[in-house]
Chain A
Amino acid sequence: MNRVVLTPADLLRWVLILAALAVTLFPFYWMVNTSLKPGPEVFQSPPTFFSSNWSFEAYRVVFETRPIGRYLLNSLVVSVGATALSVVLSALAAYGFTRFFVRGAAAFVLFLLFTKMLPETLLIIPYFQIMASLGLVDTYLALILAYSSFALPFSVWMLIGFFRTIPRDIDEAAIIDGASRLQTFFKVILPLARPGLVAVALFTFIIAWNSYVWALVLTTDANMFVVSVGIANLVGEYRVQWNELMAASVIAALPVMVLYGFLNRHLVSAITAGAVKA
């Protein structure tokens, strides 16, 4: 145990860091704090920063009186569906790009980059028109297709990065040993790429889980709302019960927080690959 000596400069550094951290995290503290208060206390002035009456009552009430469970289920189905579709397609594509000389590969990758930068509000117009004419509004399929459209470019991009780290000699060795291309891909390369595949799948899931505009436009029936739309919709109601609303927000935010815990290592590459939904 070596003694840590704090110079004045270090002290200032930590004061600034902690101040910034307080501003960053305070909204989350307030969300949790409010969600644990009983109804009347929410509308107290001055507000209580630490309540002696904390309880999970608001969580129980919001689950019983609102279809929060249903929203969560919708989000889960759509996010898992979009993730599965994107990861399968992008694993194949990333393999193709990193193993073979493909004419126009560079142009395709550039196209991926541009699709990641498209304003989604432009695309929701034709999506709504197409889905309405096909009778697919308020279906999981419409949302899965929409979510995959912005998730796929991102996952192809990230997986190319992962597949590149697997030497091509491994494929060649497998082929010389008599494996077919597809066998090589499924039996040799996919297992090796598993950490990358898991990371990309989790990121894709988060992007889908967090998305809002698409579901806002493509669902009209409250039973089909995903969690972000369902919760934002509660705000518009007469006399919002803020403790219940914050309880619902905690429930919606928690899965994402947990997933990010697993992904810390890949954050930078994911961010630059466009995991950022504006």
Chain B
Amino acid sequence: MRLVSAYEIRDKYLRKDMLPTIFCPGCGIGSVLQFTLRAIDELGLDPDKIVWVSGIGCSSRVPGFVNFDGLHTTHGRALAFATGIKLANPELKIIAFMGDGDAAAIGGNHFIHAIRRNLDVTVILINNFTYGMTGGQVAPTTPKGLRGTTAPYGQFENPFDIAQLAVAAGANYVARWTVFNYIQGINSIKKALSKEGFTLVEFLSPCPISFGRRNRMKTAPELIRWYQQITVPLAKAKKMPPEELEGKIVIGEFVDRDRPGLVREYMEYIKRAKKIMGWEE
């Protein structure tokens, strides 16, 4: 990995007139944005052929700050919009930047179906265990017992494991890291961007303002320490008994496979249609 300064990345890819960002001090979204830009830079991708898509939420504001084509859509629907962009112009590489509520609650159905059809898209998912933008309501990822403004006595529902959901739905590549897994995070994004089909890199990302504050972790460092306690690397998790894994979140690379992506499948479908109708041999 080449060490390019953060300034260089900023000057190369950010829209200066949009700065400063809306993100609170200690928020992890900026870090993940930097990882993504570094991955693009290191891969030498053509920025003119990349489209950033997002739904609604703090994380979904990211496409506004980067100097690329971007579609900031409606809450939860980013992947449905992305399906149209990608199929209408397969030349474009699509990065969907989404929040956990955006992707797994209101957008849950689009999420699993985009994966099922193996839409060619790289999803960068900010999992901050909460609804940041609307001020800290519980999300489908909020660990049991933790608080949000809509569950002031502690979440009583079971959380989704988004990465496992994606693996089960058929994604080509799925990895999960915390924002402090800098090298792994960038490498995963690079891998995700290089692959056909649906790829997902989930980041556990601190939201001190909406989430931490309500759960006795007011600052990013406190959240870091908590992430260190609750996350377990995949290799280690495999050797742990289930009781010990209770309440832990496994991080690592969960799947890496090469099923054909939606674009390729559709191109084949066109060929099949023409053959069946006798338009082509």
Do A and B come from the same complex?
A: no
